[in-house]
Amino acid sequence: MNRSKLSVWVLTFAVSTPLHAAIAHSSLAVCTRSATLLVCEDSKGSYYSVRTDGSDFHLRGYDSVTRRLWAQTNSRYGQMTFFTGLASDGEAWVGYSRRVGWTTLNRVSSSSGQRFNLHCSLIGGCR
């Protein structure tokens, strides 16, 4: 379920991105950011944006490999973030992300019946 993993990665990336994100390496995404908006595009034509509105994040994107548009809304309550998403092919997903110290625990369920857990830490990366 790489599509939903991308969404979780976007959430993790958006929360930790510095105010001036500009990456010049051709295999990575090139990003620009204002106070409330982050916009990134990679060398393959995929793109996404993250807009903040208080404790809510609104994500939209396009996956050039699958040719899918997608949107996701995240709402943060303390150390918990709940999210729901919808793709242009009708797939929907829901999940949550919980911070525990330097680790983020993510759980996602998709309308296609797939589920996964993703554990990310600053030291060990994601698994």
Per-residue pLDDT tens for 52-78?
A: 999 999 999 999 999 999 999 999 999
User: How many domains would you assign to the chain?
Assistant: 1
C-alpha 90/C-alpha 70 separation (Å) is 9
Residue 56's contacts (CB-CB under 8 Å, 6 or more residues apart) are 73, 74, 75, 76
Asked whether residue 22 carries a pLDDT value surpassing 50, the answer given is no
Asked whether residue 117 carries a pLDDT value surpassing 80, the answer given is yes
Paired tokens of 79: 């150390």
Q: Among 14-23, 39-48, 66-75, 109-118, which is the least confidently predicted range?
A: 14-23
pLDDT-based confidence at residue 11 (cuts at 50, 70, 90):
very low
Asked whether 108 and 118 are in contact (CB, 8 A), the reply is yes
* Extended strands (E) in 10-91: 30-33, 37-41, 47-53, 56-63, 68-77, 80-87
Asked whether residue 7 carries a pLDDT value surpassing 90, the answer given is no
**Rounded (10°) CA dihedral 51, 70, 110, 79:** -10
CATH number of the domain within which 18 lies = 2.40.128
Asked whether residue 15 carries a pLDDT value surpassing 80, the answer given is no
Residue-number span of the structural domain to which 95 is assigned: 2-126
Query: Residue 26: its pLDDT value, please?
Result: 53
What predicted TM-score, i.e. pTM, was given to this entire model?
A: 0.73
